[in-house]
Chain A
Amino acid sequence: MTDLTRRKFTVLAGASLAALSTPLFAPRALGQAKPRLVVIGGGPGGGTVARYVAKDSAGAIDVTLIEPLKTYTTCFFSNLYVAGFRDFKSITHNYDKVKKGGVKVVHEMAASIDRDKKQVVLAGGARVPYDRLVIAPGIDIKFDSVPGYSEAAAQVMPHAWKAGAQTQLLLKKLNALKDGDTIVMITPPNPYRCPPGPYERASMFAHVLKKKGHKKSKIVILDPKPAFSKQALFMEGWEKHYPGMIEWQDPKMHGGIKSVDPKTGEIKTDLASYKAALANVIPAQTAGKIARDAGLADQSGFCPIDPENMKSKMDANIFVIGDACIPGDMPKSAFSANSQAKVAAMVVRSELVKSRAFPARYSNTCWSLIETDDAVKIGGTYEPGEGKIKQASTFVSQKGEAADLHKQNYKESVDWYAGIVADIFG
């Protein structure tokens, strides 16, 4: 080898090492650990952000998802399970494909977040360090927001607002009803998970009772709100399909919910008392405990975020997505969580491996089934504005629409379900 050749080698090698010092390869080449993303919660928000960061960073970011359950039953479409349109298996998903997508899945409860040390502490005591943390813990039920209700009472009067065993219990109780029985639903105050959900559930209860030939059974909805999502559409559908079966009462009509008694099934309002053969009590909600314990929530019980990037306003290394965050004009829905996750994933990658960043954009659509092949929808697009996630456009089904349009809505919702669960779970 001549000197000249050796110099050529040296230049080439130097150039190659310089080329290698990009974020994609530098940590490995220099013997450093890869940047670490840790995600708490394997639902629509957490599953999506973990999968997208793993996929789009192509191994350059170490992604760990912490989720105690080995399978996840979706709240969305759980009303369709109650009505018999879906079986339980079809709304329950595992994490096999998430793992195959390069995400380390830890099936253990995340007990707390040590923000100073940037570590997640697992229930067993192990610590998982992070460079960026995304939390998607969903909601906790505020059992004491309904007088007489408790976690124990939920075994008799299911809320079924976290899908799984509660949903199965609700179906069991629904199937045991006799003609002439009364279902009493207590719906939650704002803000809560899935704004049209309680009213879709009432519709699905009515569908089951009608199918069983009930003529005298009633569904009484005691609402702490003066109005609800897609109200005119639900009421039109109820009148069309279940005339006289569903009675909705706003606070002026019931005067306030005074107590529930899980032992007797009695539910008292200021103006009346009901003997519920099935009580579906959906209390007020708050951000998942781990978010509140970590000091990421404000006095509302939910977590303020920067609408430009889904970062917590309390900690720039932590993103809060899904039902636990304060989403501005967006509803708390699986679609919203999935949309927020994509913004968070894009920002995480841009910060950890210097990928390109783009302006945040969000979207949502909520479909609600009222009766077989009769679904309505509401939705919109959202962008940062006025310090929050601000609605940019909106749409909602209209009263009096043709039946084939509502049938099309239902088909669309079924396709959406297949799409979003593939997006979340692979």
Chain B
Amino acid sequence: MIVWYRICRFSMVAITVMIATAAPVWDRSGAAGAPDMELGRYLATECMTCHQSGTATSSVPNIFGLTETRVTEVMKAYRDKTRPNPVMQSVASRLTDEEIAALAYYFSKSKKP
């Protein structure tokens, strides 16, 4: 009885932890049509090379915690080449709308390492 109770209690905790880990309440990336958080995390690894130590005033700025709207607007402007900087224009040139949305979602939800 005690053994079963312990297994049960352990299992319930484990399930709770797993559910919490898999789907945080603020993460809408699993919802239909919502941005893909995992894709955003992967694409963002490219950004980390330069932006990881950025501050608000540095030439390569901090982009963690920006709003989805802001990241989307800026990346689309680089993609359209209406915003200068060849490095960023090159990075943005291959991003689809869906990928920009995923990146924007990721950065809006992420803190600087």
Identify the A interface with B (CB < 8 A): 1, 6, 9-10, 12-13, 15-17, 19-20, 22, 25, 52, 56, 335, 338-339, 342, 345-346, 356, 358, 361, 363, 365, 377, 379-381, 383, 392-395, 408, 411-412, 414-416, 418-420, 422-423
Contact = CB atoms under 8 A, between A and B. Distances in A.
Contact of A335 (B49, B59, B60, B91): B49
A19 B4 CA distance: 17
B94 A419 contact: no
A17 B11 contact: yes
Given A16-B14, A20-B14, A395-B86, 4 more contacts: A16-B8, A20-B11, A381-B94, A395-B87
Nearest to A407: B59
B15 A16 contact: yes
Interface of B: 1, 4-5, 7-8, 10-12, 14-15, 18, 38-39, 41-43, 45-46, 48-54, 58-60, 86-87, 89-91, 93-94, 113
**Main DSSP-derived SS at the B contact region:** helix
A393 B90 CA distance: 6
Nearest to A362: B46
A381 B93 contact: yes
B94 A365 contact: no
A10 B98 CA distance: 44
A19 B51 CA distance: 37
A342 B46 contact: yes
A126 B100 CA distance: 47
B54 to A, nearest CB: 6
A419 B90 contact: no
Nearest to B53: A418
Given A19-B18, A411-B59, A419-B49, A361 B94 contact: yes
Contacts of B4: 6, 9-10, 13
A1 B53 contact: no
A13 to B, nearest CB: 5
A422 B45 contact: no
A412 B11 contact: no
Rank and list the top 8 A-B pairs by shortest CB-CB distance, nearest first: A16-B11, A415-B60, A395-B86, A418-B53, A411-B59, A342-B45, A419-B52, A13-B7
24 contacts: A6-B4, A10-B4, A12-B8, A12-B11, A13-B4, A13-B8, A16-B7, A19-B14, A22-B18, A342-B46, A345-B45, A346-B45, A356-B42, A358-B42, A361-B94, A379-B87, A381-B93, A395-B86, A395-B89, A395-B90, A415-B50, A419-B51, A419-B54, A423-B49
